[in-house]
Structure 1
C-alpha cells in the first residue's frame, strides 16, 4: 500500500502552484508531421555521420562490438544500414524486453515507410507481426534463442544484431555461445554486438578479439543531487512521490522520469501523486501520469512517445526498462530510487524471486543520462554520494544468480551433454548446473545418466519454463488440459496483479475478490476469473465491476490461444475435466511438488507453514492469496517472496497428502533417499547429482539394523 499523503507533506516547496490532470483529447497540434520530420530526425542522429566508417568495419569483419550511447540511433539505424547498404536479406535484432522489440519495430517500419509486419516486423512470445519475407525482424532474446536451437548455423539470417547485451540475461549469455558456434560454420554471417554501457573490451575478447567501435550520443549537462541519508526501502514509494510532486510544483517545464522497482510500486505512486495534485486548486501546468513497466497499458505506450509539449508535463513512472530499452524525448528531470528488482535464485527455498537490490554504477549513470538527451537536466538521487561510490561497477550476470534448469534442458536437447564445458562468457557455478540437472531429473526431463528423456523433448516444444511445461504435459494425460492451459496463460502474465484494490473502494474490491475465490487455491481462482470474464463476452465493464485487470485478461487470452495451438499441433486434442477439479490440482502438483508445505501453527500474523523438503523453517501464505483466510493442511506454491516480515508463498494451491508419497512424512522421504542411494551402489556421484549428504548416508549405512 502507498503511504498516505497530504499537502502538509510538501510544505518545503516554495509557493507550490497546483496542477491538474490533462483530461482533454490529445491535441493533434502536438504531433509531428511524420512525412516532414522522420528523415530530418534520422539525419541528425549521431550515428549518421559515422555511417561510412561503421559499414566499412562491418564489411571487413565477421563480428563488430559497437558501443553506442543512448540516443545515438544504433538500435533503429543499424538494421536499415545492413539491409539497404550491405544487401543483407534478413536481419535479426534482439531485445531483452517485449515492449522494446515492439516499439522499435513500429518506429523502424515508420522510417522505411512500410506497414508493420511487411519489411519490418517483430516476434515476441505469443505475438508475431511478419512472415518469411520480412527483412528486419525485432525479437526478444528468448525467441532468438529458440531460433538458435532450431537451426544451429542460423542460415535464415544474413546478419544478427545483439542489442542491450549489457543486461546479460540468461537467454543472452546462452545465445553468445550458440552464435559463436554458428560463426565457425558460416563465414558469411555478420554479427553486431551492441549496447550503451557494456564492457567493450570483455565482449571483444570473448568474440575472438573482434574490433570495437564507439558512437557518442547527444548529451547535455546534467546536475546531480544526493540526499544526506539513504531512503529506507519500505518508504521508497512515498519518497519518490514527494520528490516528483516537488519538482512538478517548483520547476520549469520539462518531463519527469522517476525510476522505481516494480509495477505495484508504480501503481501506488501514481495513485498517491494523483491524490495530492487533485486535492488542491486547479491552477498551473497540465500533466499526465504515464506508467512504464512490463505490463504497460497500450494507451500509456502511445502517450509515452507523443512529442514533448511545453503546455503539458509527462510524469513517467518507470522500472529499469527506461534505462536503455526505450528512448523518451523531453525528459528534463530524473528521480532515481537507487534500486531495481532482480531475479535471484535462493538455494534455501529452491525458488526464484524478484528482490529489490541496489543498482550498479552503470545503471545509475544510464538513469542520469536520460535527463540530458535533448536539453540540460537534473538527476535527483534518493541516496548518498558515498552509497553511489559503493555500487558495483556493472550488473551481476543473470546466469550467476538464477536457477539454470531451462538453459540446461535447452542445451541438452541439442546434444550438449556436458553443460559445464559450453562456451559461456562467465561460467556458472558447477553446483548450480548440478542442481538444475537434479530439478530436471525430478521433473522426469533427464534420466539417471543426465541425458534428455522423451518427456524432456516434449517440454522443449512448449514455450514455457520446465516446471510449467511439466504441468501442461501432465494435464494432457489427466484430460484437464483445457483448464490448465487457461491457468498457465494467467500465471505466465500478471497473476500477482490480477486483482486491484483502489483506496476508496477497498471493501467493494475485497468482496468482489472473495466472490471469485476458489477453495482449491489461487490457480483455480485464476481459472474461475477467466471463465466468468470470457462468458461475459470479455466485457471491460465486467472487469471494472469485479476490480480485475482487463489488460491482464486480454493478454492471457492471446497466450491461451497460442498454447492451444501448440498442444493441438504436438499433442492432439484438448480435453476438459468438467467438475473434477482434483485433476487440475494434481497437474499443478506435478510441476511444483518440490515446493510443498504443511500447516503447523495458526497465529494473528498469519498461518505458519513448514517446508518439508528445504532448510527453510517456515513461511506464510501471501495476503493476496485466495487461501489466506482459509488455510488448508497441505499446500504447494509457485513462488516464494522473502520480505521483512517473513517468507511468503505466492500462487498457492491446496493438495492432499495421498497424491504424492513423499508428502506423507519426512521419515518416508528419508527412507526413499536411502533406498535409491543404496540401489545406486552407494555412488557419491548419485549423491552429488541429487544434492544429498554422502557422509550422512554412509554413517546411516553403518548404523542400519535392517536389510534393503
Structure 2
C-alpha cells in the first residue's frame, strides 16, 4: 500500500486551522460574514422550532440568501435537545466540508473552544472529520453526501443513531435524492409508533411543496420568502435555435452595455462548449478595457473560483460571467443583469448501450426561476432596476414545464438498484411484497430491467436478481457500478491497488488522458490501452512528495484539484478495503497474479456489460444489454492500428451531435493482453496463442466459476468472433441499382 501510506486528512486539518468566517470559503464574497442574527430563517427560529417539535416532517420553503441551511440546521439541533443527533445531506462535496466551518464559527461565541470534528463534522467518500471512524459517533451534527447516508441505511435499516435528518436542496429530483426521500419516508413510518420517532426537514426555495406534502404524511410547511426587489424583465421577440444561442447571448450582452445598463452581467449557458463560443464572440466585439469576461462552471478548480472572487473584491472592472447551471445557486457575487439562454443539459438513457448521455433541452421553469433569482437583490436607484433578459419569447417562457422529468425516470438505474437491494428493498415499482420500494416518481420498468441485466453481467446479482457477495461489497462503495465492480474484481485477482487506482481515476478524472495532450504516452505501458496511463499517472502522483505534486500535474496540463480528489478517493478505498475480506471466494493462483494480468482480468469482468467482440473498418460492436450498437471509434482506438486484436473494452460511451446526427463515441479503450485472453478463453478458443494451457486443465477463470457455483445457464459460453453483417444499402442506392439492372437487361 505504497500510495495509501502517504494519505493524510489534509482537508480536515485545513478546516480546523481555517479562519472561522466565510471569507475563507471558495465562491464567497470577501467581506464580513452576515451575522446569524440577521438571517431571516434565524429570526423565525421560534416558529421553526415549534414546527419541528410538533410534526414529523417540516417543509422549510425559504428564499435564496435567507440562511435556510446555515440557520436551519442550528435551529434543528436545538429542537432535538442536548442528547439528540442529526445528519445533514448535501449535493456537493464542497458543501459537506465547508458548512461545518460556518456553523462552528456561529457557535464559537457560546462554545469558544469548539472545532470542526468535535460536535459538528463531515464525512464523504474522500475524507472525514474526525478522521478516526470511532470518533464519528460523538458528533451531534454530521454533514454528508446523500450516498453516504444511504450507505449508513444499508447497515442500519432504521438509521437508529439519528433523531433527525435534514435534506438540503430537495427541489433537485436527482436519483440519489429520490432514493433518500423514499428511504427516509419508509424509516419514518417504521419508527412512528416507537419511543424513537424520526424527524425530517426538507429545504428548498423552489420545491414542489404539494407533491412532497402528499408523499410525507403529517408534513407541515414553513414559508420564509427572501427579500427581493422588482426586476425589469424583457423577453426576446422570437425563439433562438440552440446552435445560435452563443452568438445571440453575446449580442445581448453588447446591447445591454451599449444602452447604458449598469453592473456585473451573468449569462447562463447549457455547457462549456457554448461558453467558449460566446467568449470568442465577445472578445471579437472588443467591449472595452474596463470589461472583463470570466467563464464559470462546476468543474472549475477552487483556485480558479477564488481568482474570480479576488477580482470582484479588487473592483475597478465590470465583469461578464459566462456560466452553466453551477451559478444558479449559492453565489454571493453582486449581479445586476442576467442574460438567460433558457437551456440546460441533462442525462438520458441510451436504450441500446444502457449508458447515459447528455442531451441539450429547454430548461424548466424551476431552473429559470432560480436563474432569475440571481438578480433583484439590489435596492434600486432611480430607474435602475436589476435586469433579466431571457433569450426566448414570453409565451415560450411561461409555457415551460414547472419541473423537468425526474432523473430516476430518464437515466440508468444500475447503481440505484444496487443500493436498494443492499438496503433490503424490492426495486420493482409494481411489486406487492412488503419490502417493495415506494418511489416518489415511478421509474420505467424497462430501465429497471436494463439495470438488472447490467448488474448480472458484472456478477453483482445472481440469475434470480438477488444480490451476490460481490454485489454487497460493491454497494458499500460510493462508486459508479462498473468502478465498484473493478475494485471488487481487483481484490479477487490480487490487483487491488492497480484496480482501485483505475477506479478512482475513472470516477474522478476519466478525461485526464484527453486533457494531457498526449504527454501521458510515456506512461502507457502498452500502445493498446488508454487505461494503463491513468493507473501509472496516479502511481507517479502518489510517489511524488506532496510539495511537488501540483507542479507534476500542471506540467501535464492537468488540474491539481481533480488529481487530488482521485488520489484521496483511492487512499480512502484502500484503507477501507484493508479491513474487508475479499468479496468472492477464489483460487490462490488468481490471488497471486497481481499486477498487469490481474488488472486485465478485473477490467474484463467489471466491464462485462460493455465488451467489444467484433469490428469492421472504423466501427466496432458493443454488447449492450439491449442488443449490439455500431459506434464510431475514438482517435486512439487500438482498432486504428491492429485489426486482429481479439478483445477490447470500452469504458464509457457518449452521444454527440454531428451535423444533426447522433454519433456514439468510445472515450477510453483497453485491449486485453494475450496472457489474460488465455486465462479467460482457454486453449480451445481460436483467439488464444498455441502456448496456452492444455484444454484438459481447468483455467483459473473456470476454477473460479466452478467454485462460485453459478447456475448452469449462467456459465459463460465459449466466445467466438462476431461476424458483422453489412448494413442495408440506402433506398436511393437500391432504387438506382434496380434501374441500372433493368436498363442493362433491356439493351443487352
What is the TM-score of this pair, normalised by structure 1?
A: 0.78
Equivalent residue for 1:591, pick from 603, 606, 627:
606
* Residues 258 and 512 of structure 1, relative CA distance in 2, 3 Å threshold: same
Q: Do the aligned partners of 1:338 and 1:364 also contact (CA within 8 Å) in 2?
A: yes
Match of 2:89?
94
**What's the CA shift for 1:76?**
1.2
Measure the CA separation in 1 of the matches of 2:52 and 2:595: 61
Match of 1:467?
482
Measure the CA separation in 2 of the matches of 1:155 and 1:294: 36
Alignment of 1:691-702 (within 5 A): none
* Residues 422 and 77 of structure 1, relative CA distance in 2, 3 Å threshold: same
Match of 1:563?
573
Secondary structure of the corresponding residue to residue 492 of structure 1: helix
Secondary structure of the corresponding residue to residue 610 of structure 1: strand
Equivalent residue for 1:147, pick from 145, 148, 152:
152
Provide Cα deviations, 1:403-427, integer angstroms capped at 9, x if missing partner: 2222222222233246433111122
Alignment of 1:243-642 (within 5 A): 243-244=252-253, 254-262=263-271, 268=276, 272=280, 283-284=289-290, 287=292, 289=294, 291-298=296-303, 300-301=305-306, 303-304=308-309, 311-324=316-329, 326-375=330-379, 376-417=385-426, 419-420=428-429, 421-497=436-512, 499-500=514-515, 510-517=517-524, 518-537=526-545, 538-571=548-581, 581-598=596-613, 600-602=615-617, 607-613=618-624, 614-615=626-627, 617-623=629-635, 630=641, 633=645, 634-642=647-655
Equivalent residue for 1:174, pick from 155, 175, 179:
179
Q: Do the aligned partners of 2:619 and 2:631 also contact (CA within 8 Å) in 1?
A: yes
Measure the CA separation in 1 of the matches of 2:560 and 2:592: 26
Provide Cα deviations, 1:458-511, integer angstroms capped at 9, x if missing partner: 2223232332222222122222222221111111112225553xxxxxxxx645
Provide Cα deviations, 1:412-464, integer angstroms capped at 9, x if missing partner: 22332464331111222233223322222222222222222222122223232
Measure the CA separation in 1 of the matches of 2:669 and 2:453: 23
Q: Do the aligned partners of 2:236 and 2:391 also contact (CA within 8 Å) in 1?
A: yes
**What's the CA shift for 1:201?**
0.9
**What's the CA shift for 1:562?**
0.8
Q: Do the aligned partners of 1:417 and 1:451 also contact (CA within 8 Å) in 2?
A: no
Measure the CA separation in 2 of the matches of 1:383 and 1:55: 43
**What's the CA shift for 1:212?**
1.6
Measure the CA separation in 2 of the matches of 1:542 and 1:264: 27
Match of 1:189?
198
Provide Cα deviations, 1:111-136, integer angstroms capped at 9, x if missing partner: 33354333433322212234433333
Q: Do the aligned partners of 1:323 and 1:367 also contact (CA within 8 Å) in 2?
A: yes
Measure the CA separation in 1 of the matches of 2:232 and 2:104: 36
* Residues 45 and 61 of structure 1, relative CA distance in 2, 3 Å threshold: same
Greater mean deviation of Cα atoms: 296-305 or 655-664? 655-664
Provide Cα deviations, 1:647-698, integer angstroms capped at 9, x if missing partner: 1112222247777669989xxxxxxxxxxxx9879xxxxxxxxxxxxxxxxx
5+ residue gaps, structure 2, are 1-24, 109-113, 131-135, 380-384, 430-435, 584-589, 687-710, 715-748
2:51 counterpart of 1:52: no
2:240 counterpart of 1:227: no
* Residues 206 and 33 of structure 1, relative CA distance in 2, 3 Å threshold: closer
Match of 2:219?
210
Secondary structure of the corresponding residue to residue 522 of structure 1: coil
* Structure whose CA Rg is larger: 2
- Aligned pair count reads 617
* Residues 473 and 251 of structure 1, relative CA distance in 2, 3 Å threshold: farther
Provide Cα deviations, 1:299-325, integer angstroms capped at 9, x if missing partner: 51575499766534454443323323x
2:668 counterpart of 1:651: yes
Secondary structure of the corresponding residue to residue 217 of structure 2: coil
Q: Do the aligned partners of 1:167 and 1:395 also contact (CA within 8 Å) in 2?
A: no
2:121 counterpart of 1:112: no
Measure the CA separation in 2 of the matches of 1:388 and 1:412: 41
Q: Do the aligned partners of 2:490 and 2:499 also contact (CA within 8 Å) in 1?
A: yes
Q: Do the aligned partners of 1:261 and 1:340 also contact (CA within 8 Å) in 2?
A: yes
Q: Do the aligned partners of 2:493 and 2:598 also contact (CA within 8 Å) in 1?
A: yes
Match of 1:17?
none
**What's the CA shift for 1:207?**
0.5
Match of 1:70?
64
Secondary structure of the corresponding residue to residue 165 of structure 1: coil
Measure the CA separation in 2 of the matches of 1:104 and 1:449: 44
Secondary structure of the corresponding residue to residue 512 of structure 1: coil
Match of 2:31?
32
5+ residue gaps, structure 1, are 1-25, 501-508, 666-677, 682-708
Provide Cα deviations, 1:190-247, integer angstroms capped at 9, x if missing partner: 2111211111111011001422221111112222334345444445555545555665
Measure the CA separation in 2 of the matches of 1:270 and 1:111: 41
Measure the CA separation in 1 of the matches of 2:452 and 2:92: 28
Measure the CA separation in 1 of the matches of 2:582 and 2:650: 29
Give the root-mean-square deviation of aligned CA atoms: 3.6
Greater mean deviation of Cα atoms: 297-306 or 456-465? 297-306
Measure the CA separation in 2 of the matches of 1:109 and 1:425: 35
What is the TM-score of this pair, normalised by structure 2?
A: 0.74
Measure the CA separation in 2 of the matches of 1:437 and 1:139: 28
Measure the CA separation in 2 of the matches of 1:454 and 1:225: 59
Greater mean deviation of Cα atoms: 233-242 or 200-209? 233-242
Measure the CA separation in 2 of the matches of 1:431 and 1:97: 30
**What's the CA shift for 1:635?**
2.7
